Structure 1
Amino acid sequence: MRVTTAYSYAASLANLQKRQTELNEANGRMTSGLRVEKASDDPAAAARAERALAIVSRSDANQRALDASRNAMTLTESALGDATELLQQAREAMVAAGNGSYSDAERSAQAQKLTEIRKQLFAVANRSDGAGGYLFSGQGASQPPFIDTATGVQFRGAAGQVDVASDEALPLTIDGADAWLHAPTGNGVFETRATTTTTAWIDAGAVTNPSALTGGSYSVGFTQAAGVTSYEVRDSGGNLLTSGPYKEGKAIEVDGMSFNIGGSPQVGDRFDIVPSTRTLDVFGVLDRTIAELNTPLRTGAQITQSTQTALRDLDSVAGGLQGLRASVGESLNMADAVESRVGAVKLFGETARSNAVDLDLAQAISDFKNQETGYSASLQTYSSVQKLSLFQYLS
């Protein structure tokens, strides 16, 4: 076979250029630390890397959503803590106001203290989340969700709860109406009311036999005969259910319920027992209590009744806020668990991307040395080929 000098020149030059290109590519991979710098380098590996990057991006988005939820719930937990402390102060003021030796002026002073506590509670209910929203706005509100009207505090937000947009539901806001305005009345099962009396009072009562509860309404009236006062308990239809001589401190029991009446009930006095409803609101309790404390010339029985009712209702609304605070605490615990899972998924994505496109440095150095040796050999070959000329031979 005849090999021309021109062909040898061209072949050696092409080999030299190829070796130089490969050497430059090896050097570029070592500089970038990537085995796959563009999709054409390894299409399958590039596709795996894209899928892994999508996982990492989704994990980053979930982490941002988690951080937003954690910040909001931390602020909410703090607000509920402040509210619980204020309600405890209100309870202490109410206990003091129930002191039988207090004058009307001293009770009015306690009412003024409750008024200031109410103002602070109202500010807590409308507390901002620091990002243009409100902690208790439900599904969102551009203005404070609670407004103070002549008929009491009203919720003007959107009922419900907003969750962050992530793979796992985490709260971003709290349903303010449910938190502040929907505590259970009475003891949570039934509510006792002093409907008509100025000489007696009734306590909150208790459930003695849950299976005997009917969920109905009852009334307690009184009769007198031969100087003996007796009670009668009737259902909503007026049917007599139980009766007996009235003795202060002795519990009256009917249909799985027990309650005590104190004082000196008179003929015509009436107490009602009705099913509990979730209509008790924090501000309504304080408004009613403040109005009663500012009412002068009340009897001792009226003062005792209003004190017991106020303490019962304050405990109910405080219990609701404390339960919500516990729920918010669980949300924060859940956020910690979710963060751990998000971190694990992100690590998986980063590892998969690294396995697909990252460079094995030891192998890369070895390849670079081989390419460098090949390039050096190509240079020597090209140099030798250049000497293959007639003029070089003649010299």
Structure 2
Amino acid sequence: MRISTVTMYEQSINSLNRQQGDFLKVGQQIATGRRVVNPSDDPQAASRAVAVSQAKAVTQQYADSRISARNTLAQTESVLNSVGDAITSAKTLLVQAASDTLSDADRQSVASELRGVYETLIGQANATDGNGRYLFGGYRDDAPPFARTESGDGRAAVINYQGDENSRAQRIDASREMSVTENGKTIFQSVPSGAGFVARAERDDGTRNEGSLTFTSGPSRVDPSAQGFGESLTLRFEADGDGFRLKVADPADPANDLYDEAYVPGGTVAVAGVSITLQGVPADGDQVQVRPANAPEANQDLFKSLKDAIDVLEMDQQGTAENRALFRNTINTVMRELDNNLDNVLTVRASVGARLNELDVVDSVAGNRMLNYEQTLSDLIDLDYAQAISEYSLRQVGLQAAQKAFVDIKSMSLFDYLR
């Protein structure tokens, strides 16, 4: 069979192009560090690599989300730490103010310091996360969650919560959504479960008592199994000849009394599993409200507690025994409420700390997952440099041989054999 010169040229060029293509492909693999440069190099590996890359990208998005969540929680924890310090300072000031050696002017000075603590707490309650969003407004984070209404008489402002009662949540992993903020009601207007009882010396309509009655200790739990335990109680004082009778209605049947005894100043009253020590002389109709700290009618508002304390500290106490009784009862009540508020803040802070720890755990798990993805991706598409360099040298020799063969064939001619 005759082989034409054109055929030899075509075969030589095809061989040269093939060798050059293989050589360039290996060179491209070495340059990129990837065995699969184009999907056609290994369709199955390329397909799996796309799926692994997508999973890796999703994992990275969750990692970025955790960074944002950690920043917000860290800011929340920092603010709660400051709030706890402020409540402790307020308690210290009230202990100082409760001393009988202080004059009204001295208590005015303490009130000024307490007002500073009060303003600090308002600022902390309206803290932002650095991006203009308020930390403690729930999902209503575009406006200050706590608004103040000035009383107009020089007294401490009334603070109202305007946020919602939700906590802003953020997804930190495929199967975990985490609350990254706390609403202000949970922090500043709540008490922890099991906070005990709080007493307030006031009548049903919220007006002050008219006598010099004070409670010097309690209320304390003494018998959780007693009838009426855990219910709100009203200790009523009714004139009885030259003295007074102390009555406590049954919460389950207000027409009947759980307690009906002659009042003895300085005595301890135990009713419905709760004891309280009373001192002083009441007026007819005076009352002491004893409520579970988490009862709806009990005060759980940190700002109201401080406002009550500031108001009585600025009051003239040297004038009447009634004013002194109001001061003593208010300070005792506020101290118990501040204890509950501090416990609540510490509970919320512990919850925030637990979530920060959980983020560390999720980060560790996600880090291991990311390493697995990277290893799988490397196995699928990364290049074995030792093998690639060896093949590169082989392809180079093949290309050089093809070039030499083409040069030799190109120079062949029948005229070389004619004499």
Taking structure 1 as the reference length, what is the TM-score of the superposition? Answer: 0.91
Letter in 2 for 1:234: A
Match of 2:206 in 1: none
| C-alpha distance 71-390 of structure 1, shift in aligned 2 (>3 A) | same
**Aligned-pair CA distance for 1:340:** 1.2
Paired position in structure 1 for 2:366: 342
Q: Deviations over 1:180-239 (max 9, x none)?
A: 123369x83443222335322224412233344544333334578898876443324142
Q: What are the residue-to-residue correspondences of 1:31-46 with 2, within 5 Å?
A: 31-46=31-46
Residues in 2 aligned to 1:392 and 1:350: alpha-carbon distance in whole angstroms:
63
- Label 1:272 to 1:140 Cα distance change in 2 as closer, same or farther (>3 A): closer
Change (3 A) 1:378 1:149: same
Mapped to 2, the partners of 1:225 and 1:165 lie a distance apart of 66
Greater mean alpha carbon deviation, residues 119-128 or residues 159-168 = 159-168
Task: Give, in angstroms, the shift of residue 264 of structure 1.
Answer: 4.5
Aligned length: 394
Q: What's the CA shift string for 1:292-312, capped at 9, x where partnerless?
A: 111213534333212211111
1:235 aligns with 2:254: no
Structure 1, unpaired ranges of 5+: none
CA–CA distance in structure 2, aligned partners of residues 248 and 332 of structure 1: 52
The equivalences for 1:91-240 within 5 A come to 91-150=91-150, 152-167=158-173, 168-183=176-191, 188-195=195-202, 196=209, 198-202=211-215, 203-212=217-226, 213-222=228-237, 231-236=246-251, 237-240=254-257
CA RMSD of aligned residues (A): 2.6
Contact 2:188–2:302 (CA under 8 A) maintained in structure 1: yes
Q: Residue 70 of structure 2 corresponds to which residue in structure 1?
A: 70
Distance 1:43-1:381 versus aligned 2 partners, 3 A rule: same
Q: Report the alpha carbon displacement of residue 54 of structure 1 after superposing the two structures with TM.
A: 0.8
Query: After the TM superposition, which residues 181-330 of structure 1 pair with which residues of structure 2 at under 5 Å, given as runs?
Result: 181-183=189-191, 188-195=195-202, 196=209, 198-202=211-215, 203-212=217-226, 213-222=228-237, 231-236=246-251, 237-244=254-261, 250-265=267-282, 268-276=285-293, 277=295, 279-296=299-316, 297-299=319-321, 300-330=324-354
Aligned amino acid, residue 188 of structure 1: A
C-alpha spacing 1:264/1:319, structure 2 compared with 1 (3 Å): same
Percent of paired sites with the same residue: 29
Higher relative contact order (CA 8 A, sep 6+): 1
Unaligned residue ranges in structure 2 (runs of 5+): 152-157, 203-208
Is the CA contact 1:230–1:244 (under 8 Å) kept in the aligned structure 2? yes
Task: Give the TM-score normalised by the residue count of structure 2.
Answer: 0.86
Contact 1:68 1:172 in 2 (8 A): no
